[in-house]
Structure 1
């Protein structure tokens, strides 16, 4: 979404007085983010093929909230998360954490932010080292960021975090292959919490799990958020999860942010035509990808983006302006941000 988002002030901690500028500042800010992937090509080609994965996205994530990013597979939500975490470099734009710009920082300069920013990956079967016991896996980030901790303190910390996410501390001597998917994901959550982060990115953390245990893992994440005052960036394609978990929602389509709103507002009064279509048939918690009903055609290629609004060739409200002009984010009376000419002009 082009332009800057407006964010509400976060309350100061009890017994302290935070400066107004700090209280008003989002914990994580993404400003004009662009990410293009150069695919190479033949040396005789005039233009190298490029995937335009993220296109001028701006948003702010407030302290203590669960900010959900939703959209169809391939819309760029996971790419955005990886850029925020420093796993990918942006092509353009800026990323700030607690007021400090972190994109482009060298590894040494970024180390303090590595502790404060942790990630839970989608596949619990691939994210844990099969050759390490659970104990060694959980000890590793603690020993890296706090090298002066004694062995006794490390052991105590591991046990405390394991218990806090509903794991048995005796699991420490076992290996990942000895656990179910839900147990592995709770171990992954424990690993992310070992260094007491402020911000956790959860990239589709339940989509690879059986439906019967998805709710269990979500409850663990919600409980730990409340207990530790965590801030989440939660990536998902499942709007039924968002409705119960998220405080605010950003809706992405083909590398752009279409709409950003408080969760209750989005579900009660969706504005963007794409958001309305997504919400018209909310799927149950499932492992299936989001498949919006009633959309003609296929999602265009990110190598050849449509002109104007990237959604115009599938939008029931599109006109000539939509195909010629990129919509800018407009703030509505209820605080929702929408990038849509039809909404701006009152069409439909």
Structure 2
């Protein structure tokens, strides 16, 4: 795979604040399970009461994404990774918290005010079989976002841009006359990537873009994404559950568990010296050939339901290092000397190193 090249600069070094493109602060998302108002009314003990149940998908997330990096968000199914991606892109609204893009808060903007950011931010979806309109040719699919964001362009300018972006992802020009169902999954995902790149974005959210593809095709799509990052200076929020992909693709990694961020660290640091007990268990499950690899860590118990969240640290029921404080107090992300941050009372108190 190709490595991301960083052009030399003679300017003063940028601070983290200067480099930050996206800021997520206190992000929360609850999905109601109670239906409408009338369905929430119940008779209990001879009284009419209102009952509401929620799925607590996201529970107070803080993340920064820096310009030019690929931040990978990992965790098991149901931890809230894809929900974060959709909230960032404005596809669903948060229940709490704020999202700032390039210094401007965007989660509370109207549809009209959000339009300039729609061009700068694009998304690649997980399922290439569902993300392409079956009624549109590939040419129409690629022209649509260009015409939307560049209404002043003439037909030739649009056609030239489509041809350029098709070439950049290895799509043959004659594909434009065909429909999505005529292509394989890998070919469709190339088309979906071309659609995202058609408006020259600077930030791309990729929600498990290779999980629906054959293993033989996954490396090709990953290489394509890495080449696009190098050539276009893209910033990625990359959602995945494949830790092998993270190790090759990610600049930094955020590990999620039950709607919270457990640990954030540079990729090399996280894989070499994971700090959080959940991160250690997660990485120990990666199949490796080395004889000196750590033993697989078997977690006890089951993942708690996001409907009734446990108190304190959401991981305490499965953690061998949990104490009374872990069961009562929610840990916050604290910086460590490896350049990352971890949310763990045991590490903070020195009980776990």
What's the TM-score, normalizing by structure 1? Answer: 0.91
Runs of at least 4 residues of structure 1 off by over 4 A? 11-15, 17-23
Task: Kindly indicate whether residue 73 of structure 2 is the aligned counterpart of residue 69 of structure 1.
Answer: yes
Q: Shift of residue 334 of structure 1?
A: 2.0
Counterparts in 2 of 1:253 and 1:102: CA distance versus 1, 3 Å: same
The residue that corresponds to 1:329 in the other structure is 333
Residue 46 of structure 2 is matched in structure 1 by none
Alignment of 1:77-92 (within 5 A): 77-92=81-96
Match of 1:42 in 2: 40
Conserved 8 A contact 1:39-1:49: yes
Aligned CA RMSD, in angstroms, stands at 1.9
Q: Contact 2:16–2:66 at 8 Å: present in 1 too?
A: no
| 1:105-131 Cα distance to aligned partner (Å, 9 max, x none) | 001100000000000000000000011
Which residue of structure 2 lines up, in the alignment, with residue 54 of structure 1? 58
Tell me the equivalent position of 1:225.
Answer: 229
Residue 243 of structure 1 pairs with residue 237 of structure 2: no
**C-alpha deviation, 1:293, in angstroms:** 5.6
Distance 2:67 2:138 in 1: 30
Please tell me whether the aligned partners of residues 296 and 314 of structure 1 are also in contact (alpha carbons under 8 angstroms): yes
1:22/1:155 Cα in 2 relative to 1: closer, same or farther (>3 Å)?
A: farther
Contact in 1 for aligned 2:40/2:51 (Cα 8 Å): no
Matched, 1:156 2:160: yes
Aligned equivalents of 2:178 and 2:185: distance in 1?
15
CA distance in 2: counterparts of 1:46 and 1:333, whole angstroms:
49
Unaligned runs of at least 5 residues, structure 1: 1-10, 285-291
CA contact (8 A) 1:12 1:18 kept: no
CA separation of 1:337 and 1:134: change in aligned 2, threshold 3 A: same
Aligned length: 330
Q: Partners in 2 of 1:254 and 1:42 — Cα distance?
A: 26
> 2:266 maps to which residue?
262
TM-score between the two structures when normalised by the length of structure 2: 0.90
Which has the greater radius of gyration? 2
In structure 2, distance between residues paired with 1:85 and 1:216? 26
2:167 equivalent to 1:167: no
For structure 2, list consecutive stretches of 5 or more residues without a partner in the other structure: 1-5, 43-48, 289-295
| 1:214 aligns to 2:218 (yes or no) | yes
Alignment partner of 2:286 out of 282, 306, 310: 282
Give CA deviations for 1:212-263 in whole Å, capped at 9, x if unaligned.
1111110000000100000000000010000000000000000000000000
Picking from 31, 39, 44, the partner of 2:25 is 31
8 Å contact from structure 2 (residues 126, 210) kept in 1: yes
Q: Is the 8 A contact 1:260 1:338 kept in 2?
A: yes
Indicate conservation of the 8 Å contact 2:89/2:121, yes or no: yes
- Residues 1:189 and 2:186 aligned together: no
Aligned mates of 2:311, 2:17 — CA distance in 1: 39
Does the 8 A contact of 2:40 with 2:50 survive in 1?
Answer: no
